[in-house]
């Protein structure tokens, strides 16, 4: 059983964003994080990804019934977020090699995704259009080894073809822990759970 559990999570900047959040994001129960602008949807995704630290509270990643540490959780977590961008000057092949950390299976999975999304491996990330940058992020996140997916408005900038491919990717990962931040019900229709931050 895989899940992410948050207990008493709080975060403030100049004002309080949220406080005392409790929730368990479970395998095979994709969850939509919803709420008005400024309610902390993206902040929560960043906290779950361990990019941001909460002011208080505990985050627990459990994989195959065993709690795992930050390094291990990072290796099995895919992230699609406006705040995660590959190096602009790397081409997509170099980017795939960089994020694979020598894992040949992960590298192959990314390159297979590139082909599905029609991404040129020799193109620099910085030269891609916004739509293709989003496609590239999805390719890097949806690898065969990933067990946790954190998605912050993942359909942004995608054309109809890109949206359909992403929907197919999500369907194939239905046995994962999936957390997606969006208020668009057309983008969260696959979710069976909801955490409303409003």
Q: Would you say how long the chain is, in residues?
A: 198
**Taking phi first (over 0 means left), then psi (-120 to 50 degrees means alpha), and beta for anything else, what does residue 85 get?**
beta
Alpha helices, H only, the chain: 41-48, 70-75, 92-100, 104-116, 130-141, 160-172
Nearest to 141 by CA among 104, 185, 95: 95
Residue 63 and residue 2 in contact, taking contact as beta carbons nearer than 8 Å: yes
The pLDDT value recorded for residue 39 is: 93
**pLDDT reported for residue 78:** 96
pLDDT of residue 180 exceeding 90 = yes
pTM: 0.95
8 A C-beta contact, residue 194 and residue 32: yes
pLDDT of res. 14? 87
Per-residue pLDDT, 83? 87
Q: For residue 100, which of 64, 75, 79 has the smallest C-alpha distance?
A: 75
pLDDT tens per residue across span 22-79: 999 999 999 999 999 999 999 999 999 999 999 999 999 999 999 999 888 999 999 9
Question: For 68-107, what is each residue's pLDDT tens digit?
Answer: 998 889 999 999 999 888 999 999 999 999 999 889 999 9
Give residue-wise pLDDT tens across range 93-150. 999 999 998 899 999 999 999 999 999 999 999 999 999 999 999 999 999 999 999 9
């Amino acid at each position: 059983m895989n899940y992410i559990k948050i207990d008493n999570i709080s975060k403030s900047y100049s004002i309080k964003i949220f406080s005392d959040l409790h929730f368990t994001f479970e395998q095979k129960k994709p969850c939509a994080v919803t709420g008005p602008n400024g309610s902390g949807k993206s902040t929560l995704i960043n906290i779950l990804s361990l990019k941001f630290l909460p002011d208080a509270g505990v985050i627990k990643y459990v994989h195959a019934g065993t709690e795992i540490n930050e390094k291990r959780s990072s290796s099995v977590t895919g992230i699609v977020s406006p705040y995660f961008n590959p190096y602009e000057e790397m081409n997509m092949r170099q980017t795939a090699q960089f994020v694979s950390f020598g894992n040949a299976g992960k590298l192959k999975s990314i390159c297979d995704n590139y082909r599905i999304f029609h991404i040129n491996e020799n193109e620099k990330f910085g030269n891609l259009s916004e739509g293709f940058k989003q496609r590239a992020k999805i390719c890097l996140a949806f690898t065969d080894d990933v067990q946790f997916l954190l998605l912050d408005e993942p359909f942004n900038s995608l054309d109809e073809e890109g949206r359909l491919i992403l929907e197919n990717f999500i369907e194939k990962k239905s046995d994962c822990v999936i957390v997606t931040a969006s208020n668009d019900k057309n983008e969260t229709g696959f979710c069976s759970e909801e955490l409303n931050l409003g």
